[in-house]
């Protein structure tokens, strides 16, 4: 389990899925080549998230895709997820690590260099940095909305752990995020709200992989 290998990362949100179930969206994303899935669903009860998490865990485990739970360390443990992602107002990275153990993946949201350095110092395995282009999928402080690929570059220069860019990212604008130093890109609407989530995942993966290939050839960041 190595977040530096993640190119595409789905964050679930049933309210954007056009009445399709979250397992259906996850299944389509897996078929399209998704590398990691984050179970978010913050507007549901703990029991509902747990039951949904069991379904998603079965799908991701069979496919060899990492499953991360947003915020809830207890649910991550209960469904045997691969790890947890915490925000600046959630449990700290250090506490999440203590509860889940050394083998779990612990990610942390960051929008500033200072937050990124603090998360790395506490033992985060990766950072979710954004909102890169702005987002309507979740509430974000105006100071953290639309930070741009430039902030990705600043944070990539400041830390040694992998970065996943998030916020308003599509197949059309993913390249600058990866060029700036992100290992991959995380999306909600681009896959969840797509008419064809599998095709949307494939397009996103191609954009990230192509940019990585260019970088490896010495033509990118």
Residues tagged active-site: 40, 109, 138
Q: How many Cα atoms sit within 13 Å of 142 on the Cβ side? A: 0
Q: How many Cα atoms sit within 13 Å of 66 on the Cβ side? A: 24
Cross-strand pairs, 187: 10
Q: Is 29 helix (H, G, I), strand (E, B) or coil?
A: helix
Q: Is 103 helix (H, G, I), strand (E, B) or coil?
A: coil
Q: Tell me phi and psi for residue 72, to 5 degrees.
A: -85, 95
Alpha-carbon distances, residue 32 vs 13, 16, 106, 197, 203 (angstroms): 18, 19, 25, 8, 9
Q: Is 118 helix (H, G, I), strand (E, B) or coil?
A: helix
Of 135, 130, 121, 71, which Cα lies nearest the Cα of 100? 71
User: CB of 169 within 8 A of CB of 187?
Assistant: yes
d(CA 74, CA 183): 28
Q: Tell me phi and psi for residue 69, to 5 degrees.
A: -105, 130
């Amino acid at each position: 389990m190595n977040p530096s290998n993640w190119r595409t990362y789905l964050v679930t949100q049933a309210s954007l899925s056009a009445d399709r179930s979250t397992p259906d969206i996850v299944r389509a994303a897996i078929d399209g080549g998704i590398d990691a899935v984050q179970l978010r669903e913050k507007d549901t009860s703990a029991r509902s998230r747990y039951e949904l998490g069991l379904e998603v865990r079965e799908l991701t485990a069979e496919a060899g895709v990492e499953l991360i739970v947003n915020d809830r360390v207890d649910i991550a443990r209960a469904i045997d997820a691969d790890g947890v992602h915490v925000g600046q107002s959630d449990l700290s990275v250090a506490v999440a690590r203590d509860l889940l153990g050394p083998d779990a993946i612990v990610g942390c949201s960051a929008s500033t260099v200072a937050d990124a350095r603090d998360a790395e110092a506490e033992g985060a395995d990766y950072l979710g940095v954004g909102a890169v282009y702005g987002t309507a999928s979740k509430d974000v402080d105006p100071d953290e909305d639309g930070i741009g690929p430039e902030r990705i570059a600043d944070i990539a220069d400041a830390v040694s752990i992998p970065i996943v860019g998030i916020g308003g990212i599509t197949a059309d604008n993913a390249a600058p995020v990866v060029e700036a130093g992100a290992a991959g890109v995380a999306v909600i609407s681009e896959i969840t709200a797509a008419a064809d989530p599998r095709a949307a995942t494939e397009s996103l993966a191609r954009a990230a992989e192509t940019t990585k290939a260019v970088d490896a050839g010495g033509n990118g960041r």
